[in-house]
């Protein structure tokens, strides 16, 4: 063994929490959940070439592996607490592990998330993270609470990560011919792909006001579809209200809307609330920094229907991203 992977990880798991009785180094972690809270638990696995492109920097992989999981906690309105990491690597590669932990910890620390356990094994590059957070049972944001008449919102901007992936797929020659503004846009989109910002603070704020919530990992149409199905309702979406970044509009003016509707990996929150809360939601989330746009309303009829600002029906070109799409 070139070096002790688990020791390297333990040495970096610096976040101290009083509720961690026993962290990395025994058969299991021992944790003390706070009384009166529910425990929110999620796991997501990232595979090279599926969830991040070949050649992604180790620090970006570490960041993203945690971000996609924190996004699940955000969608429940939960406060992050603990994570376990299962890391599969072709070889015990110190440089990779240190870089990975740089990215992982850069996101863990501001959230006071402690890395409390995990395992390492030799195999194709794969990262599986399990996260735990706390939320009062009656305040947890579920997918199933949307009601006809509720307004639909989404945080941040949509489609950027998928556009970032499209930028990476293009030939390098293309990039060289770009104007400076386009170079900056390209960089911004790839940053959104590699370093998504889980909307943890927004999710916690939404506990007071949202009727249902989901994070946008597979694309807005797919994920809003999941929310509607869980709630037994449908949605009417105004495609002209979709929040689009200037970077996306700069590089993909013709198909920005398609990216926003069906692109995966944005990790924004899509949520519903009674329409009387709309002004407060938009104002408060703008103040928080991520922003929120009102993009439609919940209807009784099942399915997600699209219209433009003039009320004309619109058809989407695909319905999101699916790891097992054939």
Q: Does 101 bind a second copy (CB under 8 A)?
A: no
| From 171, 180, 315, 326, residue interacting with a second copy (rule: CB under 8 A) | 326
Q: Does 100 bind a second copy (CB under 8 A)?
A: no
Q: Show Cβ contacts of residue 138 under 8 Å, excluding neighbours closer than 6 positions.
A: none
| From 84, 101, 161, 165, residue interacting with a second copy (rule: CB under 8 A) | 84
| From 17, 142, 147, 307, residue interacting with a second copy (rule: CB under 8 A) | 142
| From 7, 11, 14, 22, residue interacting with a second copy (rule: CB under 8 A) | 22
- Total residues found in the chain within this entry: 326
3-state secondary structure of 65: helix
Query: Do the annotations mark residue 145 as ligand-binding?
Result: no
Using the contact rule CB under 8 A, the part of the chain among 35-43, 103-111, 257-265, 295-303 near a second copy is: 35-43
Q: Closer to a second copy at the Cβ: 177 or 324?
A: 324
Q: Does 262 bind a second copy (CB under 8 A)?
A: no
- Closest distance of CB 6 from a second copy, Å: 10
Q: Does 180 bind a second copy (CB under 8 A)?
A: no
Q: Does 38 bind a second copy (CB under 8 A)?
A: yes
3-state secondary structure of 276: helix
Query: Do the annotations mark residue 169 as ligand-binding?
Result: no
- Closest distance of CB 206 from a second copy, Å: 13
| From 9, 24, 42, 248, residue interacting with a second copy (rule: CB under 8 A) | 42
Backbone angles phi, psi at 80, to 5 degrees: -65, 150
Query: Do the annotations mark residue 118 as ligand-binding?
Result: yes
> What distance in Å separates the CA atoms of residue 69 and residue 277, rounded to the nearest whole number?
28
Q: Does 56 bind a second copy (CB under 8 A)?
A: no
Q: Does 17 bind a second copy (CB under 8 A)?
A: no
Encoding tokens for residue 294? 């009102």
Query: Do the annotations mark residue 27 as ligand-binding?
Result: yes
Strands 79-89 and 114-122: parallel
> What distance in Å separates the CA atoms of residue 195 and residue 71, rounded to the nearest whole number?
12
Helices (H), 132-233: 160-169, 172-176, 180-194, 200-206, 220-231
- Closest distance of CB 106 from a second copy, Å: 22
Q: Does 130 bind a second copy (CB under 8 A)?
A: yes
- From first CA to last CA, the distance across the chain in angstroms is 40
If you search the block for the tokens 């390297």, which residue do you land on? 8
Residue of 252, 247, 239, 253 lying closest to 295 (CA atoms): 239
Using the contact rule CB under 8 A, the part of the chain among 29-37, 103-111, 170-178, 252-260 near a second copy is: 29-37
Do residues 28 and 115 make contact, with C-beta atoms less than 8 angstroms apart?
A: no
Distances (CA, A) of 202 to 114, 162, 212, 215: 21, 22, 13, 11
Q: 49: left (phi > 0), else alpha (psi -120 to 50), else beta?
A: left
Backbone angles phi, psi at 194, to 5 degrees: -85, -25
Q: What is the binding site for a second copy (CB under 8 A)? A: 1-2, 5, 21-22, 25-33, 35, 38-45, 47, 50-51, 71-73, 75-76, 78, 82, 84-86, 88, 91-92, 116-124, 126, 128, 130-133, 135, 137, 140, 142-144, 213-215, 230, 322-326
Annotated binding residues for ATP: 118-119, 143, 217
């Amino acid at each position: 063994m070139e070096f002790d992977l688990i020791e390297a990880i333990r040495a970096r798991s610096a976040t101290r929490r009083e509720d961690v009785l026993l962290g990395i180094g025994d058969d299991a972690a021992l944790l003390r959940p706070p009384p009166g809270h529910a425990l929110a638990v999620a796991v997501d696995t990232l595979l090279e070439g599926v969830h991040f492109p070949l050649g992604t920097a180790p620090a970006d992989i570490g960041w993203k592996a945690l971000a996609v999981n924190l996004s699940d906690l955000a969608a429940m309105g939960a406060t992050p607490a603990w994570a376990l990491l299962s890391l599969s690597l072709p070889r015990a590669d110190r440089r990779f592990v240190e870089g990975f932990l740089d990215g992982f910890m850069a996101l863990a620390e501001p959230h006071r998330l402690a890395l409390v356990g995990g395992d390492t094994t030799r195999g194709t590059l794969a990262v599986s993270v399990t996260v735990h957070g706390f939320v009062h049972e009656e305040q947890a944001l579920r997918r199933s609470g949307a009601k006809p008449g509720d307004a639909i919102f989404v945080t941040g901007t949509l489609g950027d990560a998928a556009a970032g992936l499209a930028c990476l797929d293009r030939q390098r020659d293309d990039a060289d011919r770009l104007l400076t503004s386009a170079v900056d846009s390209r960089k911004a989109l790839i940053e959104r792909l590699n370093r998504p910002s889980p909307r943890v603070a927004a999710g916690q704020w939404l506990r007071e006001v949202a009727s249902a919530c989901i994070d946008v990992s597979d694309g807005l149409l797919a994920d809003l579809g999941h929310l509607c199905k869980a709630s037994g309702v449908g949605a009417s979406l105004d495609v002209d209200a979709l929040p689009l970044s200037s970077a996306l509009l700069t590089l993909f003016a013709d198909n920005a809307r398609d990216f926003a509707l069906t692109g995966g990996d944005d990790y924004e929150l899509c949520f519903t609330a009674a329409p009387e809360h709309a002004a407060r939601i938009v104002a408060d989330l703008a103040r928080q920094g991520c922003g929120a746009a009102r993009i439609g309303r919940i209807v009784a009829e099942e399915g997600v229907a699209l219209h433009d600002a003039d009320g004309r029906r619109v058809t989407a070109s695909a319905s999101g991203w699916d790891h097992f799409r054939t």
